[in-house]
Amino acid sequence: MNNPIASTAGNIIQPHGLAKQLTKLAEAAVVVNPKPRIKYRSVKVICPATSANLGPGFDIFALALSEPYDTIQVTLAGDSVSFRITGPYASDVPEIPEDNVAGFVASHMLATFGIDTGLKVKIRKRIRPGGGMGSSAASAMAMACAIDRLFDLRLCDTDLIEWGALGEMLSGGVPHVDNVSAAYLGGFVVVTRREPLSVIRYDPHPSLYAVLIVPEIEKKNTRAAREAVGPRIAMTKAEAMLALQEACGIITGRVDAIMEATRDLTHIEAKRESEGFYHLLTECKAIGSDFHAGVAGSGAGPSIIALTTRRFARPLSTVMEKLFKDRGIPCRAIVTRPSVKGIKHLVTPIRG
Ligand code: HSE
């Protein structure tokens, strides 16, 4: 397989960050010391969209969603990795293995675990890439789980999440784990520590609905959105209190707490506003207060997520969609619910 680092032109990864992540993964592999063996002929993985940050939880909060989701089928075949992408966003995902996050994860996992089998990968891409709904996280995490299952690696949850985060480096330059954790575990996740990784998963309250406004504008670069944030500033006590309040609201279904926590633009959202888009977020937050909804940027944007109850979900989606369209921004509105399920596998036995 070609060197994936050399062929990611236009997606230049910070060599130091990549080396650090790869060293960590290699060290973890030595500790686990799996004896890879072919266990299945094919694995199909269903992976949910996820919404990260949710206002005050930059890089620490994410929520798995029932819709949309990707499916990825990984089958043993030949001696190289090949891709076929289908689905509504097929044209937005490169089929060259080294240029797509799933291929990037696959090449490094196969090399790290000394596996020389080729793979045929089919992805049905329903999550809009560059939309702020964890599209790259879904592909990366699904591939990590598929290889784990196919070759019976039995990696622990945090190691699998770290492999998924390697894929995030290709799209965003940083191995952030919020989206991949929610994609893998489902539910509402809080990244409580990055080194060593600790993620706590909660069931979101079943009364919650999520409304997503997904602008159908030119694909946005997660790396640029992260660069707009600038150097990380430690959370203030006030922000930490808001984050805590929001977590309580998501777990208990107290939308008033979510509203309070997301009422103002966070400093991260405000910095990203300079990209010329996030002023709409301010308007959506104001609309949210009329519709009993907490509104925040979804991940690195440009999608916007509102958390509310069943009664308000459809009317709110209609009003927010109209606002975007009135501003000349084509968009798609999705009314969905948080998902308690993360990745699901369907396996085909070797003699299947
Ligand atoms: N926390 C990440 C960011 C999520 O805001 O860049 C990316 O979807």
In a structure prediction context, what are the per-residue pLDDT tens digits for the chain, which is 352 residues long? Answer: 333 333 333 344 566 789 999 999 999 999 988 899 999 999 999 999 999 999 999 999 999 999 999 999 999 999 999 999 999 999 999 999 989 999 999 999 999 999 999 999 999 999 999 999 999 999 999 999 999 999 999 999 999 999 999 999 998 889 999 999 999 999 999 999 999 999 999 999 999 999 999 998 876 677 777 777 777 777 889 999 999 999 999 999 999 999 999 999 998 888 876 665 778 999 999 999 999 999 999 999 899 999 999 999 999 999 999 999 999 999 999 999 999 999 987 777 776 4
Do the strands 81-86 and 198-202 form a parallel or antiparallel pair, or are they unpaired? unpaired
> Distance from the CA of 53 to the center of ligand 1, in angstroms?
7
CB atoms within 10 A of CB 79: 9
Q: State residue 7's pLDDT score.
A: 32
Ligand 1 centroid to 85 CA: how many Å? 24
Note the pTM of the prediction, 2 decimals: 0.93
Q: Are 25 and 112 in contact (CB under 8 A)?
A: yes
The pLDDT, as a whole number, for residue 9 is: 33
Task: Give, for ligand 1, the residue of 59, 227, 232 to mutate: max count of ligand atoms closer than 8 Å to Cβ.
Answer: 59
Give 154-202 as a DSSP string.
---HHHHHHHHHHHHHHHHSS---HHHHHHHH-SEEEEEETTTTEEEEE
Q: Give the pLDDT score at 350.
A: 74
Which protein residue has the closest C-alpha to ligand 1 atom 3?
300
Selection from 292, 290, 302 nearest residue 331 by Cα: 302
Distance 37 CA to ligand 1 centre (A): 35
Q: Which residues contact 9 (CB under 8 A, 6 or more apart)?
A: none
> Cβ distance 96 to 106 under 8 Å?
no
pLDDT tens readout for residues 234-264: 788 999 999 999 999 999 999 999 999 999 9
Cα–Cα distance measured from residue 50 to residue 189, given in angstroms and rounded to the nearest whole number: 10
> Omega before 330 cis (within 30°)?
no
Ligand 1 atom having least distance to the Cα of 174: 6
Active site residues: 168, 222
Residue whose structure tokens are 């062929």: 7
- Which residue of 51, 135, 178, 273 sits with most ligand 1 atoms within 8 Å of its CB, as the best mutation to test the pocket? 178
pLDDT of residue 351: 60
- Phi, psi dihedrals of residue 133, rounded to the nearest 5°: -120, 25
Digit-coded pLDDT (tens) for 177-226 = 999 999 999 999 999 999 999 999 999 999 999 999 999 887 667 777 77
Q: Which atom of ligand 1 approaches the CA of 297 most closely?
A: 5
Instruction: Give the pLDDT score at 220.
Output: 61
Element (H, E) at 63: strand 57-76
Residue 278 confidence (pLDDT) = 73
316 near 283, Cβ under 8 Å?
A: no
Question: Which residues fall within 8 angstroms of residue 119, CB to CB, at 6 or more apart?
Answer: 74, 75, 76, 77, 81, 82, 106, 110
**3-state SS class at 134:** coil
Residue nearest to atom 8 of ligand 1 (CA): 299
What is the per-residue pLDDT for 1?
Answer: 36
Q: Who's near 267: CB < 8 A, 6+ residues apart? A: 233
